[in-house]
């Protein structure tokens, strides 16, 4: 087998794990199944990821990074918080929800898998990490948009990030249970308008943007 750099091998395994998780869920994503998907010996996978939990942690990190890269495309932070929210939510839904429901189900399953293990050593760490990363991502995007546009919100970035995540998660669950693109789009637009209204971004020393 040709030598593959450690970083590239890790990416290869994580990509294979995401495919297996999206297709078969947490229960079906054994290290053996992931190794087969990646086309590598099981021993190689165990060398890179000594435990399944370590592999799942890497999957959560990769999924979060993909969201960050996706929502940043075409974003213009200088246009303010309202634009950042509308753009980010719309692009996220376009590219990572519609047509990729397996990816979303995978992430919910990972969170519930971790929550069920709460009380064991490190049992709830995966869920905590997953939601903290998404909350921080959303909060940072809003904070940056406010800073570059010279705005101030009525709510802190951390709270806004948690609420945006809660709204998106709820709409994703509804979409997975009953896919209706038109309804989902209407609800997404109304929910974003509601979040912008709550955030109430205003130019520093001025009034709310039109």
Domain count, the chain: 2
Flag whether pLDDT at 136 surpasses 50.
Answer: yes
Q: pTM for the whole thing?
A: 0.80
Rounded to a whole number of angstroms, the CA Rg of the chain reads: 19
Helices (H) and strands (E) in the chain, counts: 9, 2
Is residue 165 assigned to a domain? yes
Report DSSP letters for 43-76, one per residue.
Answer: HHHHHH-SSHHHHHHHHHHHHHHHHHHHHHTT--
**CATH code of residue 43:** 1.10.10
Both 88 and 192 in a single domain? Answer: yes
Flag whether pLDDT at 120 surpasses 80.
Answer: no
Both 108 and 142 in a single domain? Answer: yes
> Domain range for residue 12?
1-50
How far apart CA 29 and CA 57 sit, in angstroms, is 14
Both 45 and 146 in a single domain? Answer: no
Both 129 and 163 in a single domain? Answer: yes
Both 68 and 171 in a single domain? Answer: yes
Is residue 210 assigned to a domain? no
Is residue 30 assigned to a domain? yes
Both 67 and 44 in a single domain? Answer: no
Instruction: Summarize pLDDT for 188-203 with one digit per residue, the tens.
Output: 999 999 999 999 999 9
Instruction: Summarize pLDDT for 14-42 with one digit per residue, the tens.
Output: 999 999 998 888 888 899 999 999 999 99
């Amino acid at each position: 087998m040709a030598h593959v750099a450690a970083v590239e091998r890790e990416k290869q395994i994580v990509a294979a794990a995401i495919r297996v998780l999206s297709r078969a869920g947490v229960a079906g994503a054994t290290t053996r199944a992931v190794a087969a998907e990646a086309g590598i010996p099981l021993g190689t996978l165990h060398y890179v990821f000594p435990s399944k939990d370590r592999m799942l942690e890497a999957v959560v990190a990769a999924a979060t990074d993909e969201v960050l890269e996706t929502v940043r495309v075409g974003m213009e932070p200088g246009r303010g918080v309202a634009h950042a929210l509308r753009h980010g939510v719309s692009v996220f839904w376009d590219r990572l929800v519609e047509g990729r429901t397996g990816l979303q189900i995978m992430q919910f399953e990972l969170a519930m898998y971790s929550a069920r293990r709460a009380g064991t050593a490190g049992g709830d760490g995966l869920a905590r990490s997953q939601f903290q990363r998404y909350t921080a991502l959303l909060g940072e995007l809003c904070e940056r948009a406010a800073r570059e546009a010279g705005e101030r919100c009525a709510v802190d970035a951390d709270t806004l990030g948690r609420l945006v995540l809660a709204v998106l998660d709820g709409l994703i669950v509804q979409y997975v249970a009953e896919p209706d693109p038109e309804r989902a789009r209407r609800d997404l637009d109304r929910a974003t308008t509601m979040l912008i209204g709550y955030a109430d971004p205003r130019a520093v020393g001025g009034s709310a943007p039109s």
